[in-house]
Chains A and B, each alone.
Chain A
Amino acid sequence: MSRAVPQRTDEELVEAIAQADEDALGELYDRFGKVSYGLAYKILQDAALAEDAVQEAFLQIWRGAGAYRPERAKASTWLLTFVHRRAVDLVRREQARRTEPVIAEPQGSDPGADDAAVARSRREIVQDALRRLPAEQREPIELAYYAGLTQSELADRLEQPLGTIKSRMFTGLQRLRVLLAEAGYESA
């Protein structure tokens, strides 16, 4: 992507979307469509369902852009929250028909754009920070986030009391935040 022209910030794009600016929606997709789809696919392991989750998340942004509060969350965080929630809702619906949760191995990825290097370095920083979490904190976080397990399912699966799971997730996320900050991580 050429950066020659001063770009609107992500937050400015959401403001424009609130004014029904379709180009801004397209631009937001160009920036976050891939990470959104990668996340949805990882959770759902199904291309059609992953596209549905991403489409619905972007439409939620389209409908709700007027309610966006930039001081509460970055635009990308806000979007990815929608993508994740939608994907988790879909995978739970699917899993009601399956017996075992789908826990994916990473797929070969093809970012395929000039931003690939940035995306790779961001990915590596996050993966590295995750690896540095104690396993007892990393496991419930990964199973919740990437496989859509509820906290009760986590307690069963990891054979720990629910209270322990809750506090490990909380401590793990706080620690992850610190690790990311130390690694100079900046979300988009």
Chain B
Amino acid sequence: MSNDPHDLLAAYALDALDDDERERFEAHLPDCEECTEQLALLREPVAALAYAAEGPVPTKELRDRIIESARAEPRAAVIKLPRRKWALEAVAAVAVAAACLAIGLGIWAHSLSNSLERERSANSVVEQLLAENATAKPLLGANGSLIVARNGEAALLVCGLAAAPSSKTYQAWVITGKTPEPAGLLSGGSGCRSLALTRPVPSKATVAVTLERAGGATSPTLPILFRAEAT
């Protein structure tokens, strides 16, 4: 039997994959532009099927319950993404945050390229990063990027993240196996903020950010506010 993930497209759109198959397909999806496009085409007829389902109406209380639950959720609000394809978004986020990178991450950025000069324009920093094969992945759930150099050194760039409450801090985690490892604290606040992660980010690892008590925690408190997976 073929193990080609492309075969799974229709079944994935219909939620007809078991957990393992779904996981395999979702691991493949971000790297496959064709799948992403095909999936977008299948999503519409699949969603249309919802309208053919006749059912009773929900109770009046459901609406209130949803709003109340939403209100009770801690969240990093005020996150807006530009309307661009993800690859462009990643680069755009780097461009926006490039100044932060050059200044805030001076030493780290220097290790990316010995010729990197702080005064360089945002565009040339982007070019430099890309020339160095550092990859930028857009964050899911926040505006910004995860940037990972070939040696695994990595930084988070986050823009427009609400400042953490005074008794709290944002904390980054590197997740490779089952145990998330703490990777640095971030306060949030206006503009773009950067965080040089305190541990390397291997390929395929996920970097996630949670809200923790001031000083940070040894294991994350859910929910994950935003995340990105390294290439």
A47, A59, A152: the one within 8 Å of B70 (CB):
A59
Q: Return chain B residues, CB-CB under 8 Å to A34.
A: 57-58
Beyond A34-B57, A66-B142, is A122–B67 a contact (Cβ under 8 Å)? no
Asked whether A102 is an interface residue with its Cβ less than 8 Å from the other chain, the reply is no
Give the contacting residue for A77; candidates B11, B47, B56, B77; CB below 8 A. Answer: B47
What residues of chain B lie closer than 8 Å to A15, measured between beta carbons? Answer: 80
Q: Which chain A residues lie closer than 8 Å to B18 at the CB level? A: 150, 152
Decide: A151 near B16, CB < 8 A? Known: A51-B59, A107-B56.
yes
Set of chain A residues within 8 Å of B177, measured between Cβ atoms: none
Docked CA distance A62–B79 (Å): 12
Of the residues A42, A66, A169, contact of B11 by C-beta under 8 Å: A169
With known contacts A20-B77, A63-B223, A177-B42, A35–B50 Cβ distance under 8 A: yes
In angstroms, Cα B1 to Cα A187, docked, is: 36
B65 within 8 A of A: yes
How near does chain B come to A158, taking the closest CB pair, in angstroms? 12
Task: List, in ascending order, chain B residues with CB within 8 A of A13's CB.
Answer: none
Inter-subunit contact A81/B17 (CB<8 Å): no
B residues 31-71 near A (Cβ < 8 Å) are: 36, 40-59, 62-63, 65-67, 69-71
Given A66-B142, A187-B47, also A150-B17 (CB < 8 A): yes
For residue B17, which residues in chain A have a CB less than 8 angstroms away from its CB? 150-151
Contact among B47, B48, B51, B81 for A69, CB-based, below 8 A = B81
Chain B residues whose C-beta falls within 8 Å of the C-beta of A126 in the assembled complex: 48-49, 51-52
Q: How many chain-A residues does the 8 Å CB contact rule pick out? A: 86
Partner of A145, one of B46, B75, B142: B46
Check B14–A145 contact: CB distance below 8 A: yes
Contact surface of B with A, Cβ cutoff 8 Å: 1-2, 7-11, 13-18, 21, 36, 40-59, 62-63, 65-67, 69-71, 73, 75, 77-81, 83, 85-86, 140-143, 223, 226
12 A-B residue pairs with Cβ-Cβ distance under 8 Å, sorted by A, are: A20-B75, A22-B70, A59-B69, A63-B75, A77-B47, A107-B56, A130-B49, A150-B11, A150-B18, A151-B17, A162-B1, A173-B46
Other 20 A-B pairs with CB < 8 A, given A66-B79, A126-B49, A174-B41: A18-B79, A19-B77, A29-B63, A33-B58, A37-B55, A38-B54, A51-B58, A51-B59, A59-B69, A65-B79, A69-B83, A69-B86, A74-B44, A77-B47, A85-B15, A130-B52, A151-B17, A163-B7, A187-B44, A187-B51
| Nearest 8 A/B pairs, CB to CB | A66-B79, A38-B55, A144-B16, A170-B10, A41-B55, A42-B53, A37-B58, A20-B77
